[in-house]
Structure 1
Amino acid sequence: MNKYLLLALSLFTLLFFSCKKQENLPRKATGKINTISVIIDDQLWNGEVGDRIRNKFASPVIGLPQEEPLFTINQYPAKLMEGFMTDNRTIIVVKKENKTAFEIKKNQYAEPQNVFHISGKTITEILDIIEKNTPKIIKIIKETEIAESQRIHSKSLIQTVLIKNKFQITLNIPTGYSYAFQSKNFIWLKKEIISGNTNLLIYQVPITAIKKDADAIMNIIKMRDSIGNLFIRGTELDTQMITEEGYSPYFSETKINDINAFETKGTWELKNDFMSGPFVNYAIVDEAHNRILVLEGFCYSPSKEKRDLMHELESIIKSIVILK
C-alpha cells in the first residue's frame, strides 16, 4: 500500500510542478501586423485626445499611391483591459488620473509586446505627452512589427544560395517567392498573389554611383530607371518601369544593421502603360565591397490595399546580412 501511495505522490508532484512551469511561461502575443489596441474611455476617445491619437497613428503611409493608415487602430474602454485584450502585441493605455506620466513596459502581459502607458491630470497634459513621445512610440512599434514578420517568414524560407554567391549576403525570403530573372549583377524575385504580385530586386552598382549630397535622390531615380529600362518591361514596346514623374519620392538617410543606406519610397509606373504601384528602395553603402548594394521591393495590386504588402518586402530587405 505504501508503495502505491508513494507512486501517487510522485505523480502528483510531477504534474503540479509541470503545471506551475507552464503558468510561468509568458503568453504569446497575438494580433495582425501593424495593428494597435488603444485602451481609452469613450469620453476621451470621442474628444480631442482621440483625434490626436488618430492623427498621429493613423496618418497616411508615406509612398503609397492611395491613402492607407500607418497603423490599424482598435479602441477599447478601460474596463475591457483584461483577458484576450492583454495578449495584443501593441497596446496604448491612455488615462486621465492624478498623475502625469509616460511609461513603456516590455512584455507586460505577453511576448513580444510593447505597452505604452500615458496618463495626465488634464487633457492638455495628455496631449503634450502624446505629442512629445509619438516618434519614439512609432519607431518601437515599427521595429517590433518588422521583427514579428521576420519571425513568421523564418518558418519557411526559399533557397538563397544563388543570392549568397552572387552578392555575398544572406537574406531570409519566405516561401512563395521564385526567381523571375537573373543576370551578372542583378536578381529579380516575384511572388504571385490573388490581386497581382510582389517583387524583390537585388543588384549592385559602383560605390561612386550615389554621392551623399543634394543630388543623391536624382542619382537614385536615374539608377532605378536605368534598371527598369534594362530588365523590367511590359508586354508592349517602350513600356519599361520608371519612377513616376508626377510625385517626388520620399528620401532619407538611414541604417540597416548599422550600415549606412539611402531609403527612397515612391511610386513606379510602366511608361506608356496603365500599370503602377509603390516601391521602397534601399541603397546600402557597402564600403567593405566597394559598392552600392541595392535592394528594392515593389508591388502591383490595383484592387488591394498595399501597406502590408510593402511591409512584408521591407521586413525581407531588413533581414540582410552582408558577409565579410
Structure 2
Amino acid sequence: MRRTFSAIIIATFALLFISCDGDYRSLAEGNTREVVVVMDSTKWESETAEAIRDVFGQWVLTLPNGEPYYDLRFMTIRSQNHLDRIKKQKNLIFAAPIDEESNTGRQIRGFLDESVEQRVNEGESFAFPVEDQWYRDQYVLILTSTSDSLLAQKIRNTENSLLSDMLEKELKRWEYFVYERMEQTQYSDSLWENHGFKVRIQHDYVKNIDTLNFQSYRRFLPQNDRWMWIWWKNNVPDISFLDSDWINATRDSLSAQFIKGARDSMYVNTEYRRPVETKSFQKGRLIAYETLGTWQMINGAMGGPFVNFTYYDPDTNRLFMVEYSQFAPEVRKKLPFVRQFRAMGRTLESDSTWTSESNEPAL
C-alpha cells in the first residue's frame, strides 16, 4: 500500500535521520492518538478538511462503542513562534493546495523543492510522509495538490494507504510502550524451544491454561481485565479453506472450550450483531489475517473488544492463532488497548526449520 506514496525525497527533509540510539533530540509532544491538522482557519470547512475528517477521524465500529480512528485538532499558523510550537507535536498533517496564499500554503511550498512542486502540479504526487523530522518519535504528513477539490479527492481515493502508513508508526510506539519495562521472556523462550514459534508477552500476564496445542494468559486488574490465548496446528499443507468464516468458527470453538465465565455454561462467543472485520497482510514469509470485533459472554452479561491474528507459515505448513480480549466496562475509551493488542499480536515469529515429526506430535 505504501508504494502509492511518492518516493521522491523532499529537499528540505534531507536531514539524515538518526536512530533512537544516539538521537538526543527531545521527544515529540502529545498523545499518540491525536493528530494536529495544520490548515488556514478559513479552510477548516473546505473539501480537504472534510476529507481529512472522514478518513483520519472516521469511526471505528469494531468496538463496544464507536471511537474515532484518530482525534483531530485543527490549528492555523499564527506566527513563526507558533509554528515552532506546532512542530513539537507527535502527529502532524500539513494540508493546503500548492498555490494557496496562506501561512500553511507558504510553509508547504517551503518544504518542497522545484522538482517536487512540478510533480505536484502535474498530479503525480500529493502525499509526503516523514518520520522524526524535528523531534524523535514524530510523524509528519504533507498533503498538497493543485486545488482544494482535487486534494480532497486524492485523500479519499488513497484512504487505506494513508491510514496504514500512520497506523504503522503508531503500532511501533505501542510495541515499545508495552514491552519497555519488562516482558515475560520465559514464556516466549519456552514457546520457541518447545513449539517452534513465539510471541512477546507483556510483563504482568500470568499463564492460565497449557495444553497440547493451546495456551492462555491473563492480565487481571479489577477495572481492566485482559487475556490472550495461543493455538497452533501442524501439518497443514493446503490453506484453501482459510477465510473469515473459518477463522471466526475456529475462534468461537476454541473460546467455547477454553474461555469460560464463572460457570461452565458461560463462555465467550463473537458478537455478530456488531461489525466483525478481517483483513490480510504479509509478515515476512508469513501469511497473516487480522480480525477485529467484539465478544459476548453466552449466558452472562459481559462483553468487550477482541483482536485475533491467524498466521500461516508456508515453510513449515503450520497454522497459528493469537487472540487478545478485554473486559473493562468502566474504561470509556478502549481503542488504545485494541491498538496495543494489534501491536502485540504482530510480534509472532515462527521457526522456519521446525519439523513436527521430530519435535512434537501432529495435531
Normalised-by-shorter TM-score class: 0.7 to 0.9
Gaps (5+ residues) in structure 2?
1-22, 100-116, 121-125, 353-363
**Structure label with greater radius of gyration:** 1
Q: Which moved more, 1:159-168 or 1:50-59?
A: 159-168
Note the aligned Cα RMSD (angstroms).
2.5
CA shift in 2, pair 1:209/1:144, >3 Å = same
| 1:193-212 Cα shifts (integer Å, max 9, x gaps) | 45331221111134549833
CA shift in 2, pair 1:234/1:290, >3 Å = same
Structure 2 match to 1:274 = 301
Gaps (5+ residues) in structure 1?
1-23
Aligned mate of 2:233, from 205, 208, 211: 205
1:82 aligns with 2:79: no
1:218 aligns with 2:241: no
Q: Which has the higher helix share?
A: 1
Aligned mate of 1:158, from 183, 188, 203: 183
Structure 2 match to 1:16 = none
Alpha-carbon distance in structure 2 between the residues aligned to 1:61 and 1:258: 29
1:128 aligns with 2:153: yes
Shift of 1:226: 1.6
Normalising by structure 1, we get a TM-score of 0.83
CA shift in 2, pair 1:116/1:65, >3 Å = same
Contact 2:285–2:314, Cα closer than 8 Å, also in 1: no
Q: Secondary structure at the match of 1:293?
A: strand
Alpha-carbon distance in structure 2 between the residues aligned to 1:73 and 1:139: 17
Shift of 1:147: 0.7
Alpha-carbon distance in structure 2 between the residues aligned to 1:291 and 1:276: 31
Alpha-carbon distance in structure 1 between the residues aligned to 2:236 and 2:30: 44
Contact 1:200–1:313, Cα closer than 8 Å, also in 2: no
| 1:268-304 Cα shifts (integer Å, max 9, x gaps) | 1111111111211111002334321111111112232
Aligned mate of 1:188, from 203, 213, 216: 216
Matched letter for residue 185 of structure 2? T
| 1:208-266 Cα shifts (integer Å, max 9, x gaps) | 498335x6222212211221122111112411111224246212222234410122222
CA shift in 2, pair 1:130/1:280, >3 Å = same
Contact 2:179–2:203, Cα closer than 8 Å, also in 1: no
Structure 1 match to 2:12 = none
Identical pairs, percent: 19
Contact 1:171–1:319, Cα closer than 8 Å, also in 2: yes
CA shift in 2, pair 1:262/1:207, >3 Å = farther
Structure 2 match to 1:259 = 286
Normalising by structure 2, we get a TM-score of 0.75
Q: Secondary structure at the match of 1:241?
A: strand
Summarize the alignment of residues 1-324 of structure 1 with structure 2, pairs less than 5 Å apart. 25-79=24-78, 82-98=83-99, 100=120, 101-166=126-191, 167-193=195-221, 195-206=223-234, 208=236, 211-213=239-241, 216-247=243-274, 249-304=276-331, 305-324=333-352
CA shift in 2, pair 1:246/1:203, >3 Å = same
Matched letter for residue 138 of structure 1? L
Contact 1:241–1:268, Cα closer than 8 Å, also in 2: yes
Alpha-carbon distance in structure 1 between the residues aligned to 2:152 and 2:275: 32
CA shift in 2, pair 1:185/1:210, >3 Å = same
CA shift in 2, pair 1:257/1:146, >3 Å = farther
